[in-house]
Amino acid sequence: MNDKFSLDMVSIRLITDKKLYSDTALTSPEKAVDLIGQEIASFDREAVAIINCSTALKPINAHIVSIGSIDTSIVSPREVLKAAILSNAAGFILMHNHPSGTLKPSKQDFIMTGNLFFAGELMSTHLIDHIIVGYNNGKLDFHSFTQHDEFNIAKEAFKQSSSFANYFREPSQNNIVKASKNLSEVLSKYKSKEPHQASGKKEHI
């Protein structure tokens, strides 16, 4: 055996930070928000979390994936799926906050959702919902992608955004314009809608 080479043996495990005191199946966005929505919405910067779920949609654990700036968060599918896989989760609910209180998803929110949807399908750990939480007039409110049937928009937005990869292969202003135009067409239907302002009511598209 070569004495100059050594290989570390490692173990990978989850470490529990604190307990979730609920085993209620998360069959609606409201139940997911009741579980950790207040905690996520209380951050003064964008925080992204996931709730890992069993096949019966019961919560296994929750994990804060990242904490960004006041209006931006960076989410890597690798970090999201790492916790889901270690938890042996059948699916996961993505949740993040908008400190501004405006719950309407941004372009990046759609792209992120599509990205995580396809990554989860590849790993057989399915994205159940993406929920944006925040405070409207002091009241906790939310926007659910599933409830508003926006997963198809998110999947198409991600497919179109991947056209930006052409820019790195062939640095061309035409590639940037083309990709931007395609993505704008996907989101044009959604952009025409006004943000939800009325408290106590959910936005419908």
pLDDT in tens, 12-28: 566 666 666 677 899 99
Look at residue 18 and tell me if it is in a domain.
no
Taken in order 158, 34, 72, 198, the sign of the CA dihedral is: positive
Look at residue 176 and tell me if it is in a domain.
no
pTM of the predicted model, to two decimals? 0.74
Q: How far apart are CA 125 and CA 184, in angstroms?
A: 29
Residue holding tokens 């930070």? Answer: 17
Look at residue 181 and tell me if it is in a domain.
no
Look at residue 171 and tell me if it is in a domain.
no
Instruction: Give the domain extent around 133.
Output: 29-161
Q: How many domains does the chain have?
A: 1
pLDDT of residue 8: 67
Decide if pLDDT at 169 tops 70: no
pLDDT in tens, 57-75: 999 999 999 887 776 677 8
**Residue 178: closest CA among 158, 195, 163, 199:** 163
Contacts of residues 11-15 at CB distance under 8 Å and 24 or more positions apart, as own/partner, are 12/86, 13/86, 14/61, 14/83, 14/86, 14/87
Cα-Cα-Cα-Cα torsion 128, 203, 75, 54, nearest 10 degrees, comes to -20
Look at residue 13 and tell me if it is in a domain.
no
Look at residue 205 and tell me if it is in a domain.
no
Cα-Cα-Cα-Cα torsion 198, 102, 180, 183, nearest 10 degrees, comes to -50
Look at residue 173 and tell me if it is in a domain.
no
pLDDT of residue 147: 96
pLDDT tier for residue 199 given thresholds of 50, 70 and 90: very low
